[in-house]
Amino acid sequence: MPSFDVVSEIDMHELTNALDQSRREIKTRYDFKNSNASIENSNDIITLIADNDFQLQQMQDILYKKMTNRGIDIKALNVDEIEKSGMLSRQKITVCQGIDKDSARKIVKLIKEKKLKVQSAIQDEQVRISGKKRDDLQNIMALLRESNLDLAIQFRNLRD
């Protein structure tokens, strides 16, 4: 029976590359000259540090552009509010991996509303969808791509 998994993952190696490219661009840009602008990364949290909010916004735009060029979906990022401490402004960006239970339920509900002959099951941080016809599975993939989920979703493990 054909099946596939709906997951929300980010290639951490590509994320590291995007962060490195962003750091290099910030070092070479004239508007960041003689500033304390930096990007720090620890586990799944990216911290942007700058002298003011405008530079922080510019850094965020640079980071998003580099991530998009490397094939990372920005929907997987959870941006916190800007924190001001002394002369510096900080902003934390959390990288979300996996599908939480509420989002998994939304996906299952969307699939059931379509009324195709497929089964969906929530397994840890992914949703497995299986059916008798490959065309039904492809219709489900198209439905999930078009839906406005606040997740970066990928399809893995397509089996016949």
Where are the CATH 3.30.70.860 domain residues in the chain? 3-8+98-159
Domain 12-95 has CATH 3.30.70.990: yes
3-class SS letters over 9-35: CCCHHHHHHHHHHHHHHHHHCHHHCCC
CATH number of the domain located at residue range(s) 3-8+98-159 in this protein: 3.30.70.860
pLDDT per position as a tens digit, 80-133: 998 888 888 999 999 988 888 888 888 888 888 878 788 888 888 888 888 888
pTM of this prediction?
A: 0.81
Where are the CATH 3.30.70.990 domain residues in the chain? 12-95
User: Could you tell me the sign of the dihedral formed by the alpha carbons of 68, 70, 155, 42, in that order?
Assistant: negative
The pair of structure tokens assigned to 55 is: 């530079």
Judge whether 55 and 48 are in contact, CB under 8 Å.
Answer: no
pLDDT per position as a tens digit, 30-68: 988 888 888 999 888 999 999 888 889 999 999 999 999
CA pair distance 134, 7, nearest whole angstrom: 19
Q: What percent of the chain lies above the pLDDT cut of 70?
A: 100
